[in-house]
Amino acid sequence: MAGVNESLLALADHDETMVRARHEIEHPASTADLDAARAELASAAASKRALDGARAPLVARSGALEHDATAARDRASVIARRLDESTGAGRDLEAMAHERDALMARADQLDEELLSIYEQLEPLDERLESLRVDALAASARRERAQASATAERESAAARLEELTAARGPLAGAIDAATLARYEAAAARAGGIGAARLVNGRCGGCHVAVPAATADRIAHGPEGTIVVCDECGRLLTR
């Protein structure tokens, strides 16, 4: 039959495994990948907003230029047809020809400005497309990481359920008074209520214990238990 010290340490080891399972449920390994993908998507969204802000006045200006250039050419075409249909000469026809030429020159000027706008938009559009591609890749990574995290949580939850069921016999091997002390210590020390003394240090928090305490554990009878002043765990040899 296992002694008190051995039973306490067996329960502590089991509880440590349960603590790890709970941690995996709350913080699955894929969380880092998931957080990285989410951060990348957030960064891409911020970059897109900045690009949209830079593009908006250029897009608006290009639309206005296209409209004005088309209107100028349409008006010039109407005047050109009227000139073609007219006969003779006169100041009115000369004025119409001047207006036609001025409209065509204006349209050409607007085209030049529009070309300049397009040249400014081109690198922004290329960056926008690059962001779109990167965001799609990050979104796919996020979905994969999310699926992995869900699977990891489910696996850890199933393992914790099995560990919880198996804990009863381990706890039952310890007398009621000692178990009560263990459970109280576990509540204070993150779920693990006992630790072995290793080279004069608590195996839980790794802080050195007083020499008298270490000597008592090392040379005391089976079942000698002291409390770690640092973490509150029950210390045994």
**Are the beta carbons of 10 and 167 closer than 8 angstroms?**
no
Give 65's contacts (C-beta < 8 A, 6+ positions apart): 110, 111, 113, 114, 117
Sign of CA dihedral 71, 74, 80, 84: negative
Report CA Rg, the chain.
Answer: 40
In the chain, where do the E strands start and end?
A: 194-198, 201-202, 226-227, 234-236
Q: What is the pLDDT of residue 86?
A: 80
pLDDT tens across 54-84, in order? 999 999 999 999 999 999 999 999 999 998 8
User: Residue 189 phi/psi, 5° resolution?
Assistant: -115, 35
| Cβ-based neighbour number of residue 72 at 10 Å | 20
- Strands laid side by side in the 201-202 sheet: 201-202, 194-198, 234-236, 226-227
Q: What is the pLDDT of residue 85?
A: 84
151: β partners: none
Q: What is the pLDDT of residue 103?
A: 96
Q: In 3D, which of 194, 231, 227, 223 has the Cα closest to residue 213?
A: 227
Q: In 3D, which of 231, 203, 205, 207 has the Cα closest to residue 9?
A: 203
Q: Six-digit token pair at 30? A: 């894929």
220, pLDDT greater than 90: no
Q: What is the pLDDT of residue 84?
A: 86
124, pLDDT greater than 50: yes
Q: How far apart are CA 37 and CA 145, in angstroms?
A: 8
User: C-alpha angle 137/142/146, rounded to 5°?
Assistant: 150
Q: What is the pLDDT of residue 58?
A: 97
Out of 18-22, 34-38, 82-86, pick the least confident: 82-86
Q: How far apart are CA 151 and CA 139, in angstroms?
A: 18
**Are the beta carbons of 237 and 11 closer than 8 angstroms?**
no
Out of 98-112, 149-163, 220-234, pick the least confident: 220-234
pLDDT (mean) for 95-121: 96
Q: What is the pLDDT of residue 1?
A: 41
